Amino acid sequence: MKLFAHWIVAIAAIATMPSALAELPLVIRFSHVVAPDSPKGQAAQRFANLVATRTQGKVRVDIYPNGRLYGDQDEIAALLMGSVDMLAPSLTKLKVLRVPEFEVFDLPYLFADIESAHRVTQGQIGKDLLGKLAPHGVIGLAIWDNGFKQLSSNRPVHMPTDLAGLSLRIQPSKILETQMKDLGAKARPLPFSEVYNALKTGAVDGTEGPVSNFYTQNLHLTQKYLTLSNHGYLGYGVLVNKKFWDTLAPDVRIALEGSLKEATTYANDTAQRNNEEALMAVEQSGKTKVIQLSADEKLAWQKALSKVHQQTDGRIPKELIERIYQESGYHLAAVSMR
Ligand code: LMR
């Protein structure tokens, strides 16, 4: 009789298990390398909030910022292995998925302003590039802005020639190496998580990046000057592991897509403001002197960097570069520079 009662309890427990499991939220692990209050950090958080609302808590997005879970060196491998579900690496970092075309975004002065960047990233070219990722196990869902890169160092830099001999941190990229070489500087590819220490210990003399990353990584505590060169664009590809995506129920996928659409609008509407606020914070810190360039100095930068566009050594198809020029208006800007 006692045994029978045990059986009843056990059967009852098993019978209630599926519904208990059904109530567990589906967790999406979203890892990134920047601070929570950077443009990417804030957009990821907005995405997580939207997903929670749209799925009424059935799906939860857990965010791992600051490379806490994975850094530049291993995050894409982790995504492919399914150790993490979503990432948003900078566009140039996507080339390790065997889509070298993503390095095109490193070309200096490719976009005169954020609107011309959006015509490419949010238009057909952006879609086509993201579409190239699927055969490599990853779905490219969206492109988010950070913004335009500035140049920091412990030497006041006005003209490109002021960089001669400096060792400058870059993201791993042949185009960025060429860019630094053309400026007379030494390019030092380093993972993002190592930049602060490399600057602090003097292993490198300076770096490039949007002010939002500069400020939220405390780089202003290590650098005396920040030159507002706006010499390149930094954006992100929002990625999800394809196998994981394919297992999702259609209604979950719809909710995620809708949330991402809204989060993308938010990301691209607020990134510029985030960079402006970071610039004010850097100025107020009194640690780093911000250098504005005169019109002549800006032109000198554009001229010094224009030949990088002819030095891509066939890694990026010419047609893609031409297509981007047409969309961004770079060809017009280049003509006016001559
Ligand atoms: C960098 O390595 O400088 C950036 O890609 C970091 C980031 O994700 O903004």
Q: What pLDDT digit, counting tens, does each position of 244-285 carry?
A: 999 999 999 999 999 999 999 999 999 999 999 999 999 999
Question: Would the CB of 217 count as within 6 Å of ligand 1?
Answer: no
pLDDT > 90 fraction of the chain, expressed in percent and rounded: 89
Q: What is the DSSP letter of 171?
A: -
Question: Would the CB of 222 count as within 6 Å of ligand 1?
Answer: no
| Best probe residue, ligand 1, of 30, 42, 234, 239 (max atoms within 8 Å of C-beta) | 234
Quick check: 197 pLDDT over 90? yes
CA-based nearest residue to 66, from 95, 38, 29: 38
Atom of ligand 1 nearest to the CA of 89: 8
The domain segmentation of the chain, as residue ranges, is 18-337
Question: Would the CB of 146 count as within 6 Å of ligand 1?
Answer: yes
Taking CA atoms only, the protein residue closest to ligand 1 atom 6 is 192
- pTM over cut 0.75: yes
Question: Would the CB of 212 count as within 6 Å of ligand 1?
Answer: no
Q: How confident is the model at residue 334, as a pLDDT? A: 59
Residues 6+ apart with CB under 8 A from 212: 38, 39, 146, 147, 271, 274, 275, 278
Q: What is the mean pLDDT of residues 119-133?
A: 98
**Would you tell me how many other CB atoms lie within 10 Å of the CB of residue 6?**
9
At the fourth CATH level, the homologous superfamily of domain 18-337 is Bacterial extracellular solute-binding protein, family 7 (3.40.190.170)
pLDDT band per the 50, 70, 90 thresholds, residue 99: very high
How remote is the CA of residue 299 from the centroid of ligand 1, in Å? 26
Distance in angstroms (rounded) separating the CA atoms of residues 318 and 191: 29
Taking CA atoms only, the protein residue closest to ligand 1 atom 3 is 192
CA-based nearest residue to 305, from 279, 328, 333: 333
Tokens at 220, concatenated:
């202003």
pLDDT band per the 50, 70, 90 thresholds, residue 332: low
Question: Would the CB of 171 count as within 6 Å of ligand 1?
Answer: yes
How remote is the CA of residue 135 from the centroid of ligand 1, in Å? 25
| Best probe residue, ligand 1, of 64, 90, 236 (max atoms within 8 Å of C-beta) | 90
Tokens at 254, concatenated:
């719809």
Q: How confident is the model at residue 196, as a pLDDT? A: 98
**Would you tell me how many other CB atoms lie within 10 Å of the CB of residue 214?**
26
Q: How confident is the model at residue 301, as a pLDDT? A: 97
Residue owning tokens 């959006």: 118
Q: What is the pLDDT of residues 255-264, one digit of tens each?
A: 999 999 999 9
Question: Would the CB of 34 count as within 6 Å of ligand 1?
Answer: yes
Q: What is the mean pLDDT of residues 91-96?
A: 97
Question: Would the CB of 33 count as within 6 Å of ligand 1?
Answer: yes
Average pLDDT, the chain: 93
